[in-house]
Structure 1
Amino acid sequence: MSLIDIKNLTFSYETSFENIFEDVSFQIDTDWKLGFIGRNGRGKTTLLNLLLGKYDYRGKISASVTFDYFPFEVEDKSHTTIDIIDSINNSYEVWELNRELSLLDVDQDVLYRPFETLSNGEQTKVLLAALFLKEQNFLLLDEPTNHLDEEGKETIAEYLKKKKGFILVSHDRDFLDKIIDHVLSVNKTNIDIIRGNFSDWNQKKEREDNFETAENEKLKKDINRLKQAAKRTSSWSEKTEESKFGTKGVDRGFLGHKSAKMMKKSKSIEARQNKAIEEKSGLLKNIETAENLKLHPMVYPKGSLVDVSDLSIFYGDKILFEGVDFSVRNGDRAVIKGKNGSGKSSLIKLLAGEEIPHMGFIKTGSGLTISYVPQDASFLSGTLNSFAEDRGINETLFKSILRKLDFDRGQFDKRIDEYSEGQKKKVLLAGSLCESAHLYIWDEPLNFIDVISRIQIEELILNYNPTLIYVEHDSAFNRKIATKIINL
């Protein structure tokens, strides 16, 4: 057991006017399974990069371990998998590697195939095995389950439960609860560490927020009282000063001395009152605002919105799936499920109107209006203004939704390609929420999106009941939202 000690850490990007971290101090035990949570744009990936030594900073980071980052970047994926493992770690025993692959449910024959031929899930598992075999390292796992199906996530969850010595960035509540024993949270004004899993942290956070909300009501009354007192004090000193003028038969020198003395006293009282107001106003520092989102879905006048029968989709010479039948009617919330590579995204794209090789029958209702959120947000560039203009949505409404999703106004002036992955996905979601549609088609809408925003989106869907076809691997979200399952 050893400690990672962070003292007085202060950091900001050269292009930023504000510090991402300011005088932050905390300690991490290298035996912990540490979940790292916080809203998008709060600096989670930045902190990981600081631990990796990628940026200059003020303060001190000391550790007796070596930090390794996942996802590990493989430069040439045409090499065999075993060669790539050796390039990451060449100090393992063969039996150790076989044990790790067995725990991850990976066949050993992948070792002698080109890495690029492995599925996303297989690549993730192989890289995790290689990194965990390294000695004296501490892993920084940055959303390792993105794009993995539920079966793959379950396998990795069971694997990580048997490990220790890592920081796990994830927004999947069920996944975190299965694995972690401590939580590191980046709050609005500080960084906090507690013992327990995500549910423990969430319960503690709710208690703290409820307490601060109750205190807020008391503070509002105190602040109003202090402001009224400050106003009376200011008026009192002004009247005393005015009494020096226009009064006959009085000693103006005496009044001037009295006025100055009272003015000084009143200014001192007023300063104390203003300081008290400022202190009380600053007490509410960590409440996470999660305002209700709104949606204006349209009801399709009659019949099914989508009818599919005997559908097969192809990728090159490969059949991704065949013989699929389903229909979607008003109010259905249909989740598409299947293993990685089974054709979920291809089906989503086909339903959204893209040209995808297929056979079978697919019919969408006449005059159907669709709002589509793709899986990949990397194509986004330019400004929020240009995004709203290109999409034909109301810019004011669009930015109002982003504000509710925890966008600071200062971020509105940045280019979208400078945003974090979670912020980019929020841009796509906010664009969709601005659109009135009969059918919303979302491909992995929660990728990189923070937990609080996920809960906001859950509540939005349950409140407004849009007709929805989507792909998502967050099991907690699916339990609450899905009314129909399309199995591939």
Structure 2
Amino acid sequence: MSLIKVSNLTFAYDGSYDNIFENVSFQINTDWKLGFTGRNGRGKTTLLNLLLGKYDYKGSISASVSFEYFPFHIARKDFNTLDVVQDIVPDYQHWQLMRELSLLKVSEDVLDRPFDSLSSGEQTKVLLAALFLKENSFLLIDEPTNHLDIHARKLVGDYLNTKSGFILISHDRAFLDNCVDHILSINKTNIEVQKGNFSNWWENKQRQDHFELAENEKLRKDIKRLSDAAKRTGNWSHEVEKTKNGTRNSGSKVDKGYVGHKAAKMMKRSKSIEQRQHSAIEEKSQLLKNIENSDSLKISQLAYHKNEMVELEHVSIRYGDKTVCSDVNLTVQRGERILIAGPNGSGKSSILKLICGEETDYTGTFRKGSQLKISYVSQDTSQLQGNLSDYASHNEIDESLFKAILRKLDFSRLQFEKDMSSFSGGQKKKVLIAKSLCENVHLHIWDEPLNFIDVISRMQIEELLLEHSPTILFVEHDSEFCNNIATKVVEL
């Protein structure tokens, strides 16, 4: 056991006018299973890169262990998988590799296949097995669950739960609960480390948020009372001062010295109250420092003239010589929230693309309602570049509404000025979701919408779908989201 100590860390990217971190200090134990959470764009991957020594920074990072980052960069994906593993861990013991693959339920024959012929889930598991062959290293695991199906996530979570000595970035609540014993959170103004899993941390955060909100309300009332009192006292001293040059009701002259003294005394009291007011305002600025903006989102679907929107009967889809799914039966009716589930490679995305009108080689019966308008969120965000205003104009959506939704999803106004190509993976996914929410359609089709998206934004999207009950067909592997949202599950 040893400690990793971060002291007064300050960092900004070259050419950037805002710091990612400013005077951040914390320490972590190298035996922990540490979950790492925070909203998109707060610097989770950046912090891992700082630990790896990739950037210059102010402050200090001290550790008696080396760091290893996951996912590994694979230069030649056409190589056999065993060669890929050997490039990552040249001095590995074969029996140790077999042990790790067995724990991950990966058959030995994958080692003799080209790495790029493996499914994304198999690739992730093989690379995790290689990662845990690295001895005397603290492991930095960056979002391993993306594109893993629900069953694979459970398996990988169980695997990580048998390990220790890592930082794990993930936005999947159930996954984090399954395999971490501490949480490192990047908040709005600081970084905190807490013992427990994600649910423990979230419960503590809600308790702290409620306390801060109650204190803020109490202080707001105090400030109003002090402000009113200061105003009244200021008026009194002003009225008294006006009588200095007047006369008493009895006709005798006013004692200007006495009146001036009284006015000065009241003015002093007014100033004292004003100072208290400023102190209270200053105190207020210390509150709500880590309350996250999680305002509710809205969606307004067009009303469709029929109850039934889409129907598939005994549909099979082929790509070349390969059948990706067969004998699929699916009906989408107004108001349903349908999850298409199944292992990776079972044809979930192919079904969505067929419904969206993409040219697809299929057999069976496929019917889509006349004049049905669909909004589609794809897995791929690589096409996003340029500024948000041009993107809104090109897609013919209301720019003000589009940016208002992004603000609610924790975009800063500074972010609006940047090129979308510089956005994090989660921020790019939020752009696609915000666009979809702005479109006037009858049916929303979302393909793994939550990849890279932070936990709080996931909860906002959940609340949106539960409150407004739009018709939606979706593929997603976040088990908690699926359990909360789906009114019907179609298993491939």
Partner SS, residue 339 of structure 2: strand
CA contact (8 A) 1:297 1:464 kept: no
Stretch moving more, 335-344 or 250-259: 250-259
C-alpha distance in structure 2 between counterparts of 1:229 and 1:59, whole Å = 46
Structure 2 length as normaliser, TM-score? 0.93
**1:91: how far off?**
2.0
Aligned to 2:143: 143
Aligned to 1:53: 53
C-alpha distance in structure 2 between counterparts of 1:116 and 1:417, whole Å = 26
**1:275: how far off?**
3.0
> Residues 24 and 251 from structure 1, CA distance in 2 versus in 1: closer, same or farther, beyond 3 angstroms?
same
Matches within 5 A, 1:248-327: 270-327=274-331
User: Which of the residues 434, 438, 456 maps onto 2:442?
Assistant: 438
Matches within 5 A, 1:405-444: 405-444=409-448
> Residues 58 and 264 from structure 1, CA distance in 2 versus in 1: closer, same or farther, beyond 3 angstroms?
farther
C-alpha distance in structure 2 between counterparts of 1:270 and 1:15, whole Å = 42
C-alpha distance in structure 1 between counterparts of 2:182 and 2:190, whole Å = 17
Aligned to 1:157: 157
CA contact (8 A) 1:219 1:281 kept: no
> Residues 106 and 275 from structure 1, CA distance in 2 versus in 1: closer, same or farther, beyond 3 angstroms?
same
**1:261: how far off?**
9.8
Alignment: residue pair count: 487
CA contact (8 A) 1:9 1:59 kept: yes
Unaligned runs of 5+ in 2: 248-252
1:213-264, CA deviations, whole angstroms, 9 ceiling, x for partnerless residues? 21121011112123334445665777788889999x9999999999999978
Name the aligned partner's letter for residue 9 of structure 1: L
Matches within 5 A, 1:188-203: 188-203=188-203
Provide the identity percentage.
61
Partner SS, residue 490 of structure 2: strand
Aligned to 1:73: 73
User: Which of the residues 359, 380, 400 maps onto 2:363?
Assistant: 359
Name the aligned partner's letter for residue 487 of structure 2: T
Find out whether 1:400 has 2:404 as its counterpart. Answer: yes
CA contact (8 A) 1:226 1:277 kept: no
User: Which of the residues 470, 473, 481 maps onto 2:477?
Assistant: 473
Partner SS, residue 305 of structure 1: strand
Unaligned runs of 5+ in 1: none
Partner SS, residue 308 of structure 2: coil
Stretch moving more, 227-236 or 474-483: 227-236
C-alpha distance in structure 2 between counterparts of 1:397 and 1:128, whole Å = 42
Partner SS, residue 78 of structure 1: coil
Name the aligned partner's letter for residue 283 of structure 1: L
CA contact (8 A) 2:246 2:254 kept: no
- Cα RMSD (Å) of the superposition? 2.4
1:425-474, CA deviations, whole angstroms, 9 ceiling, x for partnerless residues? 11110111112221110000111111111111111111111111110001
CA contact (8 A) 2:338 2:473 kept: yes
> Residues 245 and 98 from structure 1, CA distance in 2 versus in 1: closer, same or farther, beyond 3 angstroms?
farther
CA contact (8 A) 1:295 1:436 kept: no
Partner SS, residue 297 of structure 1: coil
1:28-76, CA deviations, whole angstroms, 9 ceiling, x for partnerless residues? 1001001111111111111111111111111110111111111111111
CA contact (8 A) 2:443 2:472 kept: yes
Structure 1 length as normaliser, TM-score? 0.93
Partner SS, residue 177 of structure 1: helix
Partner SS, residue 359 of structure 1: strand
Aligned to 1:134: 134
**1:390: how far off?**
1.1
Name the aligned partner's letter for residue 94 of structure 1: H
C-alpha distance in structure 2 between counterparts of 1:427 and 1:213, whole Å = 30
